[in-house]
A and B are shown apart, each in its own frame.
Chain A
């Protein structure tokens, strides 16, 4: 480890032309990401931010966005984590096709995803009709929002968890089996704990991606308003000046939560 650090320092001491060029490129990329966000914060006053934070509609929408995305992530996790394990461990016919299908939500336009989901859960669909029987409707309901968020963000969890499981040496699972553990026990005591870091990271990514979803959500539910929809509404009705503080506030809330989660995840990992 020390040796690696030493090499690293030596490398930094003598950057060649190629490296300088790459560093410059990297700087531009970072600027590309940071500049608009920084601009937004610079242009929104503290007073504006506080006003937005006090706004009842904003508070409600942020809270709604956070919990709906969280609920979708947790519910889908029950199905997605065992599925990721299968994808990591087993070879079966059409595996490539299936991993391709898992990635579909990432590559299709999200409004199109919203339209597709609406076809399944609208009042005229089979599921919609069944829901109607118990006097329930997905459209315009947090449950519908949750479906939309989960649909577009699920690949992040599946892919993250799959990588985590793939990195667990199969031999440890075999050893556990020979020590008398049932396959289910092996999964919960060996595979999942050892893959936990990647699984958790997948959960956080899925949640984060769900929070930021706009396209699919707006097709299914304009109301109740999740924050991305609220930002859009403020922008289209009142203009940039009114949308900016809400956007900035939402970013702050998300960043704080993610940083805390990441730190917790790393601490847990360090301890284990």
Chain B
């Protein structure tokens, strides 16, 4: 449906290098990357606001790289909403329709329809400055949807919203996508990506380093960068010793872990998600091949879960529920056991 082919762009010190990916009809495609990695520039190239140095944008089989912005049928919604401050909500919404010379009567019907769908009927007469951030984002979305874009580009549409508005807008975006709208959403927030995406592309240093389903990207990060970026805290550099006959061993700072890997011996990183580590007060006999004694050095509480850091010679973070925290009476300085299966960690070679 939309194909980005070998896009290259250099602006001052920053560069997009040979970016390629394809988005299929109705897909929710998330570009995940740190701020400043060039995500917005890429969106502006797709929408036609910027011209790439090299490469092509193919929309429905047509090369639109040189096509005028107005004729591309690609809509973009910015993080700061970009509502026109001198126009009322209604005028903002009718702006794209007026550009298309839609009749007054039809503009009125379409705006009413949109306001009802997106849910901001009472706001029509208001000025953008009087809207809450969530309301403004709804209006900005509706304004772009009024153009009936073939592909909707979203530039960090949720980041600047408060928690309540965040979940509302997320639900709205999902609903818009389910109605068949193809969407490309850029964000630095991996939870947002996991919650919305059908596929994720990870951007790193001006390049796309991994494309896959949220599960693939999250569970099987291809590089240390991806692992670090999506918030996996247990990343250790070390050496893999794999004889090929039995379980491989990963050695780091004098600690040995059993790890299931078909990679050859060598240096690399072991990543382990906090959710895969269990904590107990005694040394339990389980099927887990990795069991270590350590001392709790840090506890970071979240709304539902706690991240417990245990020093077993090296520090490991386990994510456990607050309920378990209470039952096990975990506190700083307490001696505990941690366990994880050899199938849990992932080895990423260098």
Residues of A within 8 A of B (CB): 169, 171-172, 174-182, 185, 189-190, 193-194, 272
Q: Which of B44, B84, B85, B99 contacts A180 (CB 8 A)?
A: B99
Contact B85 A194 (CB under 8 A): yes
A175 CB contacts on chain B under 8 angstroms: 76, 78, 82, 84
In the complex, how many angstroms separate the beta carbon of B209 from the nearest chain A beta carbon?
28
Q: Which 7 A-B pairs have the closest CB atoms?
A: A175-B82, A179-B96, A180-B99, A181-B99, A178-B76, A177-B69, A180-B70
Distance in angstroms between the alpha carbons of A90 and B11 in the assembled complex:
16
Q: A185-B99, A189-B95 are in contact. Are A178 and B84 (CB under 8 A)?
A: no
Contact A180 B82 (CB under 8 A): no
Does chain A have a CB within 8 A of B47?
yes
Q: Which of B47, B70, B80 contacts A171 (CB 8 A)?
A: B80
- Of A180, A190, A193, A194, the most chain B CB neighbours within 10 A belong to A180
Q: Mark B51-94, 1 if CB is under 8 A from A, else 0.
A: 00000000000000000011000111010101011100000000
Does chain A have a CB within 8 A of B147?
yes
Distance in angstroms between the alpha carbons of A174 and B99 in the assembled complex:
14
Contact B143 A179 (CB under 8 A): yes
Does chain A have a CB within 8 A of B303?
no
Across the two chains, which residue of chain B brings its CB closest to A175? B82
Across the two chains, which residue of chain A brings its CB closest to B153? A178
Across the two chains, which residue of chain B brings its CB closest to A180? B99
Q: Which of B69, B78, B84, B147 contacts A190 (CB 8 A)?
A: B84
Distance in angstroms between the alpha carbons of A190 and B92 in the assembled complex:
11
B47 CB contacts on chain A under 8 angstroms: 178
Interface residues on B, range: 20 to 34
Across the two chains, which residue of chain B brings its CB closest to A194? B86
A181 CB contacts on chain B under 8 angstroms: 70, 95-96, 99
Residues of B within 8 A of A (CB): 44, 47-49, 69-70, 74-76, 78, 80, 82, 84-86, 95-96, 99-100, 143-144, 147
Distance in angstroms between the alpha carbons of A176 and B76 in the assembled complex:
10
User: From DSSP, what is the main secondary structure of chain A's interface residues?
Assistant: helix
Residue pairs across A and B with Cβ atoms less than 8 A apart, 21 shown, are A169-B82, A171-B82, A174-B44, A174-B49, A176-B95, A177-B48, A177-B70, A178-B49, A178-B75, A178-B76, A178-B144, A179-B75, A179-B95, A179-B143, A179-B147, A181-B99, A182-B70, A189-B95, A193-B86, A194-B85, A194-B86
Distance in angstroms between the alpha carbons of A178 and B72 in the assembled complex:
9
In the complex, how many angstroms separate the beta carbon of A46 from the nearest chain B beta carbon?
45
In the complex, how many angstroms separate the beta carbon of B180 from the nearest chain A beta carbon?
20
Contact A177 B49 (CB under 8 A): yes
B70 CB contacts on chain A under 8 angstroms: 177, 180-182
Distance in angstroms between the alpha carbons of A178 and B144 in the assembled complex:
8
In the complex, how many angstroms separate the beta carbon of A75 from the nearest chain B beta carbon?
27
Across the two chains, which residue of chain B brings its CB closest to A272? B86
In the complex, how many angstroms separate the beta carbon of B115 from the nearest chain A beta carbon?
17
B143 CB contacts on chain A under 8 angstroms: 179
Contact B86 A179 (CB under 8 A): no
